Amino acid sequence: MRSTRFRKTLAVTGTILCAGAMLSACGSGNDKKSDEGKGKDTVSVATGNGEMKVPHKPARVVALDNTSFATLKAFGVKPVAVPKPLLPKKGFEDWKNDSSIADAGSHREPKFEAINAAEPDLIIGGYRFASHQDKLSKIAKTVDVAPSDEVKGGYVNALKTQTEALGKIFGKESKAKEIVDALDKAKNAAADATKGEKVFLGVVTAGKVDNGASRIGRIAEPLNLENVLKADGEKSTSVHNDSGLAPETIAQLNPDWMILMDRDAAVAEPGKASVAAKELVDGMEAWDKTTFRTKGQVVYLQADFYVTEGAQAYTDAFNQVATAFTKAG
């Protein structure tokens, strides 16, 4: 009996050892396969910080760069965290009101704890959040594909590169191509409609119109327009710098057209008094005899332009220019 029990014990032990060995071998194979899978599940994209491998079709995404929001929405991406103070007032109500999407704060006061708690696979940083790259990278892989004035071809070309990179990351190359094609079509239409007219590019904020060449001069760059007041001497693309530009100076420059971005329309708190861009232009006595006022040649960019500035926003802007200039003849 003892011998029989011993043989049974040995057989069982052998079975357990064999199973263990198989599991171990299986585990090693899976680990290797998993590693290979991870390699295949990454994609290489050009970023503001050089070529970078990022997760392909990431499931949990923190979207911080506001220029990417409309594209991500077009891709059907639902982020796990966004800077809700930077969301446009219209078109993103679902993101703003969804309690499952954490508020990442603003670029001035990021909520790093909330971003970390969202457990992202990928963080889309850059643009307003560019200065926080190092801290964000400690939470998860952080990619900066935001458009920049400094890249070859300028800001508008960078919008196309950004869209294509996001398309590659999320496996939405066809949709990205649609967005890029729409931008190109609108830009070309605006270029065809402009014939060297003089234009002033302005930013409306706090009841004043200031030089906006450093921020929205990007619109005029690929078009056939002559900017009457360039960004020479301006230190940045910030719209918070009050240069003290007088309405009389703009009147003396007497541009044929104005293209205006209304910052207050995008960020003014509900109930807070602000002067709409059109109301300001119509009420400015110093401009009574200017060409742009007497002919009604003012293009008012979409109210949320200041917090969008992505491919779709520039597509809209170029379409506005094409329509207005074609109508004026």
Q: Within a domain: residue 32?
A: no
Per-residue pLDDT at 10: 36
* Same domain as 105, residue 66: yes
Mean pLDDT of 243-262: 94
Tell me, yes or no, whether 17 lies in a domain: no
Residue 118 CA to chain centroid, in angstroms?
A: 20
> Would you say residue 269 has pLDDT above 60?
yes
Range of the domain at 73: 42-177
* pLDDT tens digit sequence for 102-113: 999 999 999 999
Q: DSSP string covering 245-259, please? A: --HHHHHHH--SEEE
| Together in a domain, 135 and 108 | yes
The string of pLDDT tens digits covering residues 35-80 is 333 445 999 999 988 899 999 999 999 999 999 999 999 999 999 9
Residue 213 lies in a domain: yes
The answer to whether residue 88 sits within a structural domain is: yes
**Do 238 and 167 share a structural domain?**
no
Domain identity same for 52 and 168: yes
pLDDT at 12: 38
Query: 214 and 173 in one domain?
Result: no
Q: Which residues of 303-319 are buried (b: 16+ CB within 10 A; e: fewer)?
A: bbbbbbbbbbbbbbbbb
Query: Average pLDDT, stretch 9-13?
Result: 38
Average pLDDT, the chain: 87
What token pair was written down for 100? 């499952």
For residues 267 and 235, membership in a common domain is answered with yes
pLDDT at 136: 98
Contact 194, 211 (CB under 8 A): no
Q: Is 125 inside any structural domain? A: yes
In a domain, 104, yes or no: yes
Please name which of 290, 298, 295 lies closest in space to residue 250, comparing C-alpha atoms.
290
- Total domains in the fold of the chain: 2
In the chain, the amino acid numbered 266 is: A
Same domain, 173 and 46: yes
How far does the chain reach from its first CA to its final CA, in angstroms?
A: 109
Same domain, 213 and 118: no
Q: 1 in a domain, yes or no?
A: no
Same structural domain for residues 46 and 158?
Answer: yes
Do 166 and 49 share a structural domain?
yes
Which pLDDT tens digit goes with each residue over 143-179? 999 999 988 889 999 999 999 999 999 999 999 999 9
Are 228 and 271 found together in one domain?
yes
Please check the confidence at residue 95 and state whether its pLDDT lies above 90: yes
- pLDDT of amino acid 270: 63
Q: Are 60 and 120 in contact (CB under 8 A)?
A: yes
> 172 and 198: one domain?
no
State the pTM of this model.
0.84
Report the pLDDT value the prediction gives residue 268, as an integer from 0 to 100: 74
Of the candidates 145, 177, 209, which is a domain's last residue? 177
Task: Identify the residue whose tokens are 């094409």.
Answer: 322
* CATH number where 83 lies: 3.40.50.1980
Of the candidate ranges 17-21, 172-176, 273-277, 306-310, the one whose mean pLDDT is the lowest? 17-21
Name residues whose C-beta falls within 8 Å of residue 281's C-beta, 6 or more positions apart in sequence. Answer: 209, 258, 260, 287, 293, 298
